[in-house]
Amino acid sequence: SQQGEEDPQALSIQEGENATMNCSYKTSINNLQWYRQNSGRGLVHLILIRSNEREKHSGRLRVTLDTSKKSSSLLITASRAADTASYFCATDKTSGSRLTFGEGTQLTVNP
């Protein structure tokens, strides 16, 4: 069963705006990862944040992790139409164990 919940389920913004997606989980984790999926395609790995990290940056992406609240957020700054996709968080309990995916957020960036 999916332990991750993401909100919002759908987000529509204008190009240039920032997009924030949230993910919550229920059990203790080793890592939390964010993936992007374009419609009808596979998943692209975006960023991994370890349970002992609080914030991580990669280009226009900023990920935060709050293990006390069992939640994470993904911020995409200066969004582009090409950022339109579904975004999933995924957690694992131990290094190399199975991933459990959240329900995903559908992001639409309007040009």
Contact residues for other proteins (CB under 8 A)?
Answer: 2, 30-31, 33, 35, 40-45, 48, 88, 92, 95-96, 98-104, 106
| Nearest CB to other proteins, comparing residues 15 and 22 | 22
Pairing of strands 19-24, 71-76: antiparallel
Helix, strand, coil percent content, the chain, rounded in steps of 5: 5, 55, 40
Instruction: Give CA angle at 58 (89, 85), nearest 5°.
Output: 45
Q: How far is the CB of 53 from other proteins (least distance, A)?
A: 13
Q: How far is the CB of 47 from other proteins (least distance, A)?
A: 10
| Nearest CB to other proteins, comparing residues 42 and 111 | 42
| Nearest CB to other proteins, comparing residues 69 and 98 | 98
Those residues whose C-beta lies under 8 Å from the C-beta of residue 51, and which sit 6 or more positions away, are: 28, 29, 30, 31, 32, 65, 67
Q: How far is the CB of 63 from other proteins (least distance, A)?
A: 14
